[in-house]
């Protein structure tokens, strides 16, 4: 949005003189009287910074919106290059905007008027013996079925998927057509042996090098998304009655997979900032010597949004290796991490095949292809056998599309665009939570990802909230979908995958009203 207030230069003005900003929303009746250049430039940038600050505070420039460039400011306001740069740096110093390398300056999410997410209250594992996963699958299915039967939503805040418009459908269509022209028999050819296309294996192996991971192409297997990879890992590593360690809370798909296999799960308290508590995991390993596997999401953990420090990744691999416990690494969200630098997976520190690495292109590249991949460590052959016995082979078409796109300049530009869009949507959603939800709510704003995790006052029943919101055409994900401990009944996971339109903001307002009604309080104005 261009908020510059254009005004003409008086012929009598010194061409080197910089113009002061008018009052917001008004044309200046006249330009300022000439003053010395040195005295004027000492404060002109602050006056223009005030001009943009007013626009930000008034909502004319919204969170995530790009500011004019240095060149644009210089030309629009007839100031020097130095002054234009000072304007942006002054706004950055005030905490109103942020610089994104090679992209520009953007309006920053302001300090939220709400409490930050708390660390786990107890750093001990939840007892797998008294906390058997019985019935949680039915509870999750009940939530999902209610949503399915409710029909189209006015606002779907429960599905953590990027909106279709964040993807380049025309590019994908061109890729698909080009492949069919190149290989006309692509859709009628199906190998009869366990098979991942060599081109896909080579492409994923090369791409893994960009984030510090060295994998032999022959040890890479294509899967139907990340969920199949995690399920294959559990099938290869465990039998009914075995114990596995999972994060608490964790993605409900993992909860469903654990229960479906008759496994006993020990939930490990997890920090919303650093992920799984390694102290609690170590205690669980001593308490359950029969522990077979640990499932961890190291980057933008679902639903909390935590990213594990590298020291924690290295330590958890060492812990699992020393005790002969498999580490199933679900790395589905690594592509969305926004912090600078390379974000290496736990697999980087694996020296003996302890880590089963699971990744996906479904959320970051093409949801419709349902394309994932994995390296099963020392269980590779067993995973291949199970994969072939369950679902035979992967379609070749999605593998080749992925192989010819992932890691290319187009793909890297796409990731940058989708991260920027998600950042804006997440910040706007966070502002709505701060504006409409009850006082005492807590939230951490992750540096990336598709959702936010909100802790509400304990008196708020999110199961009831789910039903009330669904009746009004709003879908959410209540906290008790993500754990079997009973500790998250007043939590919500809210999706930020869709553009923050007026109907989405209205949904946040309605949710706030429903929460306040439960508490017997008037909604926040």
For 374, how many CA atoms within 13 A lie in the half-sphere containing its CB?
31
Whether 361 and 230 share a structural domain: yes
Is residue 457 a part of any domain in this protein? no
Is residue 148 a part of any domain in this protein? no
Whether 103 and 175 share a structural domain: no
Is residue 189 a part of any domain in this protein? yes
- CA angle, 361 then 365 then 371, to 5°: 35
Residue-range definition of the domain harbouring residue 382? 168-410
ω into 130 cis (within 30 of 0): no
pLDDT the model gives residue 132? 57
Q: What is the distance between the alpha carbons of residues 348 and 168, in angstroms, rounded to a whole number?
A: 31
Q: What is the distance between the alpha carbons of residues 72 and 360, in angstroms, rounded to a whole number?
A: 40
Tell me what the mean pLDDT of segment 53-73 comes to.
Answer: 85
| 135-164 pLDDT per residue, tens | 788 899 999 999 989 878 999 999 989 999
Residues near 472 by beta carbon (within 8 Å), at least 6 away in sequence: 154, 510
pLDDT-derived band at 110, boundaries 50, 70, 90:
low
H or E element that contains 443: strand 442-444
| 194-207 pLDDT per residue, tens | 689 999 999 999 99
pLDDT the model gives residue 4? 38
For CA atoms 269, 274, 280, 286, give the dihedral sign.
positive
Whether 172 and 90 share a structural domain: no
pLDDT-derived band at 113, boundaries 50, 70, 90:
low
What is the overall mean pLDDT for the chain?
Answer: 87
Whether 104 and 176 share a structural domain: no
pLDDT-derived band at 126, boundaries 50, 70, 90:
confident
Q: Which residue has the tokens 């290989």?
A: 183
* Cα dihedral: 170, 173, 178, 181 (round 10): -140
CA distances to 303, 309, 363, 509 from 402, rounded to whole Å, are 27, 29, 13, 40
For helices 310-323 and 278-287, give the axis angle rounded to 10 degrees.
Answer: 10
DSSP, collapsed to helix, strand or coil, labels residue 246 as: strand
Whether 396 and 319 share a structural domain: yes
For CA atoms 247, 249, 254, 255, give the dihedral sign.
positive
Whether the predicted pLDDT of 347 surpasses 90: yes
Q: Which pairing describes strands 326-330 and 291-296: parallel, antiparallel, or unpaired?
A: parallel
Tell me what the mean pLDDT of segment 46-64 comes to.
Answer: 83
Whether 102 and 183 share a structural domain: no
Is residue 61 a part of any domain in this protein? yes
Whether 305 and 223 share a structural domain: yes
* Total number of domains in the chain: 2
Q: Which residue has the tokens 């002969």?
A: 324
Is residue 302 a part of any domain in this protein? yes
Any idea what the CATH number is for the domain that residue 365 is in? 3.40.640.10
Tell whether pTM > 0.85.
no
Of 58, 90, 108, the last residue of a domain is: 108
CB 55 within 8 A of CB 14: no
Q: What is the distance between the alpha carbons of residues 459 and 185, in angstroms, rounded to a whole number?
A: 60
Whether the predicted pLDDT of 12 surpasses 70: no
Between 125 and 496, whose confidence is greater?
Answer: 496
Is residue 521 a part of any domain in this protein? no
pLDDT the model gives residue 330? 98
Whether 89 and 204 share a structural domain: no
Q: How many helices (H) and strands (E) does the chain have?
A: 16, 16
Whether 172 and 103 share a structural domain: no
- CA angle, 488 then 492 then 498, to 5°: 155
Is residue 453 a part of any domain in this protein? no
Any idea what the CATH number is for the domain that residue 77 is in? 1.10.10.10
CB 479 within 8 A of CB 488: yes
Range list of H helices, 409-501: 409-436, 462-471
Of 108, 124, 144, the last residue of a domain is: 108
DSSP code for 321 = H
Whether 181 and 327 share a structural domain: yes
pLDDT-derived band at 127, boundaries 50, 70, 90:
confident
Whether 102 and 176 share a structural domain: no
Whether 338 and 206 share a structural domain: yes
Q: What is the distance between the alpha carbons of residues 225 and 394, in angstroms, rounded to a whole number?
A: 11
Q: What is the CA radius of gyration of the chain?
A: 26
Is residue 466 a part of any domain in this protein? no
Of 86, 108, 130, the last residue of a domain is: 108
* Cα dihedral: 218, 412, 274, 126 (round 10): -50
């Amino acid at each position: 949005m261009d908020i510059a207030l254009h005004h003409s230069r008086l012929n009598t003005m010194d061409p080197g003189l910089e113009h002061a900003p008018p009052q917001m929303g008004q044309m200046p009746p006249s330009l300022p009287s000439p003053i010395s250049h040195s005295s004027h430039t000492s404060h002109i940038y602050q006056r223009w910074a005030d001009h943009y600050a007013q626009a930000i505070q008034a909502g004319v420039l919204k969170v995530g919106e790009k500011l004019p460039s240095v060149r644009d400011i210089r030309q629009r306001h007839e100031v020097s290059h130095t002054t234009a740069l000072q304007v942006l740096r002054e706004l950055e110093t005030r905490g109103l905007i942020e610089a994104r390398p090679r992209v520009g300056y953007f309006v920053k999410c302001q300090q939220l008027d709400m409490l930050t997410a708390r660390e786990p209250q107890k750093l001990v594992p939840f007892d797998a013996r008294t906390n058997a996963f019985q019935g949680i699958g039915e509870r999750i299915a009940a939530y999902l079925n209610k949503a399915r039967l409710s029909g189209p939503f006015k606002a779907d805040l429960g599905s953590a998927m990027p909106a279709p418009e964040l993807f380049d459908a025309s590019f994908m269509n061109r890729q698909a057509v080009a492949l069919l022209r190149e290989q006309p028999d692509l859709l009628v050819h199906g190998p009869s042996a366990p098979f991942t296309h060599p081109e896909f294996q080579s492409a994923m192996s090369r791409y893994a090098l960009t984030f510090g991971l060295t994998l032999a192409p022959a040890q890479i297997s294509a899967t139907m998304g990340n969920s199949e990879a995690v399920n294959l890992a559990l099938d290869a590593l465990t039998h009914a009655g075995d114990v596995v360690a999972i994060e608490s809370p964790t993605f409900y798909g993992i909860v469903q997979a654990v229960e479906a296999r008759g496994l006993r799960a020990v939930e490990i308290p997890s920090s919303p900032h650093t992920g799984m508590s390694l102290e609690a995991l170590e205690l669980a390993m001593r308490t359950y010597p029969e522990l077979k596997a640990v499932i961890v999401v190291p980057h933008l953990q679902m639903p909390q949004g935590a990213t594990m420090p590298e020291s924690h990744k290295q330590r958890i691999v060492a812990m699992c290796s020393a005790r002969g416990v498999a580490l199933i690494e679900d790395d589905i969200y690594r592509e969305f991490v926004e912090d600078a630098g390379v974000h290496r997976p736990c697999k980087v520190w694996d020296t003996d095949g302890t880590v089963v690495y699971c990744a996906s292109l479904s959320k970051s590249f093409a949801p419709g292809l349902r394309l994932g991949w994995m390296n099963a460590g020392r269980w590779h052959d067993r995973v291949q056998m199970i994969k072939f016995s369950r679902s035979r082979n992967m379609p070749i078409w999605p593998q080749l599309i992925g192989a010819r796109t992932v890691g290319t300049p187009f793909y890297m530009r796409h990731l940058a665009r989708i991260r920027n869009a998600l950042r804006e949507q997440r910040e706007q959603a966070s502002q709505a939570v701060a504006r409409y939800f009850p006082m005492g709510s807590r939230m951490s704003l992750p540096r990336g990802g598709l959702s936010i995790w909100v802790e509400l006052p304990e008196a708020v029943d999110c199961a009831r909230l789910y039903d009330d919101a669904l009746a009004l055409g709003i879908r959410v994900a209540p906290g008790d979908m993500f754990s079997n401990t009973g500790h998250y009944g007043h939590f919500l996971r809210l999706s930020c995958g869709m553009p923050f339109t007026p109907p989405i903001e209205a949904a946040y307002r309605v949710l706030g009203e429903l929460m306040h009604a439960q508490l017997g309080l008037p909604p926040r104005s």
